[in-house]
Amino acid sequence: MDIMETIREQVEGNPVILYMKGSPNAPQCGFSARTVEALMACGERFAYVDVLSNPEIRANLPKYANWPTFPQLWVNGELVGGCDIITEMHENGELAELVKAAAPKAE
């Protein structure tokens, strides 16, 4: 499968997905750590992709997203932004609202 198709399927198939360096339990850069901290504070589950262990995604996601840096948070198929935007949204309460609205509801 084409890498762009893989990225599209990940973005469209997960209501909340974070492309980051490392994992939520072991972020590999300060920006990913701050972003994951803000996202985890929302209290909802989210998918993630470690771009360090997925070099093809790391190389192609910036083209797909038209966004050059990591981390990248996607909600309902839309790019929300990177660390600074996510941190600011967390501080003013917007992030929790966005994530809770997108999170799959337990049956």
As annotated, the binding site for [2Fe-2S] cluster includes 29
Asked, for residue 45, whether it belongs to a domain, the answer is: yes
Cα–Cα dist 14/73, whole Å:
11
Asked, for residue 63, whether it belongs to a domain, the answer is: yes
**Which residue shows structure tokens 């399927």?**
9
CATH number at residue 98: 3.40.30.10
How far from each other are the two terminal CA atoms of the chain, in whole angstroms?
A: 32
On average, the pLDDT of the chain sits at 95
- Residue range 33-60: mean pLDDT, rounded: 97
Q: What is the pTM of this model?
A: 0.94
DSSP 7: H
| DSSP β-bridge partners for residue 80 | none
Q: For the chain, what is the domain count?
A: 1
Asked, for residue 49, whether it belongs to a domain, the answer is: yes
Asked, for residue 83, whether it belongs to a domain, the answer is: yes
pLDDT confidence band for 71 (50 / 70 / 90): very high
Asked, for residue 47, whether it belongs to a domain, the answer is: yes
As annotated, the binding site for glutathione includes 21, 58, 70, 83-84
Asked, for residue 42, whether it belongs to a domain, the answer is: yes
Cα–Cα dist 27/66, whole Å:
23
Asked, for residue 72, whether it belongs to a domain, the answer is: yes
Percent of the chain exceeding pLDDT 90 equals 94
Q: For residue 35, what are the domain limits?
A: 3-102
As annotated, the binding site includes 21, 29, 58, 70, 83-84
The confidence score (pLDDT) of residue 105 equals 62
